[in-house]
Chain A
Amino acid sequence: DAGVIQSPRHEVTEMGQEVTLRCKPISGHDYLFWYRQTMMRGLELLIYFNNNVPIDDSGMPEDRFSAKMPNASFSTLKIQPSEPRDSAVYFCASSTSGGATDTQYFGPGTRLTVL
């Protein structure tokens, strides 16, 4: 299994630009999560999906952030327009509701720097 795949691994952009982060969950997993990690706030949930439907987006900072999951194997997190305070590492994770495990499997993350 390839694990959770995220792209790009690093992104440097200028304030005001649109940024799109991508995630491919583990095949067969029906839950997908987006988390953000910063020094100040630690690891925090942004949004999660179940069967491609957003379940909880209460962690999405503001309207500049949007996330989609058009199919079971792909999700995007978009920031438009980006601001320097969005600089962070963004993690995607997936899990399955099948079986007795609630383990989440994390991707390697996308390190975003907004100048």
Chain B
Amino acid sequence: SQQGEEDPQALSIQEGENATMNCSYKTSINNLQWYRQNSGRGLVHLILIRSNEREKHSGRLRVTLDTSKKSSSLLITASRAADTASYFCATMDTGRRALTFGSGTRLQVQP
């Protein structure tokens, strides 16, 4: 079953703008991960944030985690057309190795 919802379900922006996606979850987690999936392709790991971390950066990506609200956000700065994809958050529950995925956000970056 899916962990929670991602918001928005779809997002369309212009190249150069920032994109923010939100994820909510329900359980106690060890870490939260973000993955990208291009249409018809596999999932590519983007970034992992542990439950004792609040913010993490990787290139143009910034992830925040608020365990008190059971929520996370992914910010993509200075978006490019190549960022067009679906983005999924996935949680790893405490004591478990498998991931529980959110419903995903479809991002469209217009050139």
Contacts and interface: CB of A to CB of B under 8 A. Distances in A.
A91 B90 CA distance: 15
Contacts, number: 57
A109 B38 CA distance: 12
A91 B100 CA distance: 14
Interface stretch (A15-23, A62-70, A99-107): A99-107
A9 B44 CA distance: 17
A106 B42 CA distance: 6
B101 A106 contact: no
Interface stretch (B10-18, B58-66, B69-77, B91-99): B91-99
Interface in A93-115: 93, 95, 101-109
Interface string A20-58: 000000000001010100000111110010100001100
B98 A33 contact: yes
A45 B98 CA distance: 7
Nearest to B92: A102
B97 A107 contact: no
A104 B99 contact: yes
Given A102-B48, A103-B45, A103-B48, A48 B97 contact: yes
Contacts of B41: 108-109
B30 interface: yes
B60 to A, nearest CB: 19
B43 interface: yes
Contacts of A44: 1-2, 101
B77 to A, nearest CB: 22
A99 to B, nearest CB: 12
